[in-house]
Amino acid sequence: MAGKGILLVVSGFSGAGKGTLLQKLLEKYDTYVLSISATTRSPREGEVDGREYFFRSREEFEAMIAAGELIEYACYVGNYYGTPKAYVEEQLALGKDVILEIEIQGARKIKECYPDSVLLFLSPPSAEELRRRLTGRGTESMEVIENRLSRAAQEAQGIEDYDYFVINDNIEDCVQQVHQILESEHSRSFRNGERIGKIREEVGKFQK
């Protein structure tokens, strides 16, 4: 019954609530798994290889790039980060919906390699609310906040490239909405070739 899973790419402004959304989706439904990235940065305390990240040396990472084992990768603050193809495809084949949290360039790359993937952009209800959430955290300096807001302005340019635009006003409603989108995507004809073929064959026997 499960069929093949869907690759769901989630992007959105810092402060849109991506982290909470993903955490709640994973808690609430057993159909989702998070994609695990590979990185060359050192593990922080408590981080486990193959759980938070696949920790790799720079040589190993570059060998993965060369072998085409990454769907996408980027360099950030001197370290590589990338999405290993093998883990994603293994989970999709098991019927899991695999969630990837990634920014716009990565999202475009994913859609290129996996045209059947679903790209979703998460937004706060307003820019004012975004600023309130970022300052409300109280953990970041004004400079960091301003950088994030400025970055949001850039990210907003690419929203049309996403399949869905979801506003996170109330987090529980938002979790429900994203889950419904995934359920609906599973009903798309192009994802149901096998079922359609079966019913076509069966009713074909009625042809006079």
Nearest CA to 130 out of 105, 153, 163 is that of 153
| Cβ neighbour number for residue 152 with a 10 Å cutoff | 20
Minimum distance from residue 33 beta carbon to its own copies (Å): 21
Residues 90-129 within binding reach of its own copies (CB under 8 A):
121, 123, 126-128
Amino acid letter for position 86: A
Torsion, Cα of 24, 28, 32, 34 (10° steps): 30
Distance of CA 64 to the CA centre of its chain: 21
- Which residues, in sequence order, are bridge partners of residue 165? 121
Residue pair 7/98 in contact (Cβ under 8 Å)? The answer is yes
Q: Which is nearer to its own copies, 53 or 121 (CB)?
A: 121
Near its own copies by CB under 8 A: residue from 5, 6, 13, 40: 13
Q: Which is nearer to its own copies, 44 or 208 (CB)?
A: 208
Q: Nearest 5°: phi and psi at 32?
A: -105, 145
Near its own copies by CB under 8 A: residue from 42, 57, 141, 187: 187
Residue pair 106/70 in contact (Cβ under 8 Å)? The answer is no
Size of the site for its own copies (CB under 8 A): 48
Near its own copies by CB under 8 A: residue from 30, 45, 59, 202: 202
Residue pair 33/15 in contact (Cβ under 8 Å)? The answer is no
With left for phi above 0 and alpha for psi between -120 and 50, is residue 3 left, alpha or beta? left
Q: Which is nearer to its own copies, 45 or 201 (CB)?
A: 201
Q: Does 192 bind its own copies (CB under 8 A)?
A: yes
Q: Which is nearer to its own copies, 58 or 165 (CB)?
A: 165
Near its own copies by CB under 8 A: residue from 33, 70, 130, 175: 130
Annotate each residue in 133-162 with x if it binds its own copies (CB under 8 A) or - if it does not, as one string. -------------x--xx-xxx-xx-xxxx
Q: Which residues bind its own copies (CB under 8 A)?
A: 13, 121, 123, 126-128, 130-131, 146, 149-150, 152-154, 156-157, 159-167, 177, 180-181, 183-185, 187-190, 192-193, 195-196, 199-200, 202-208
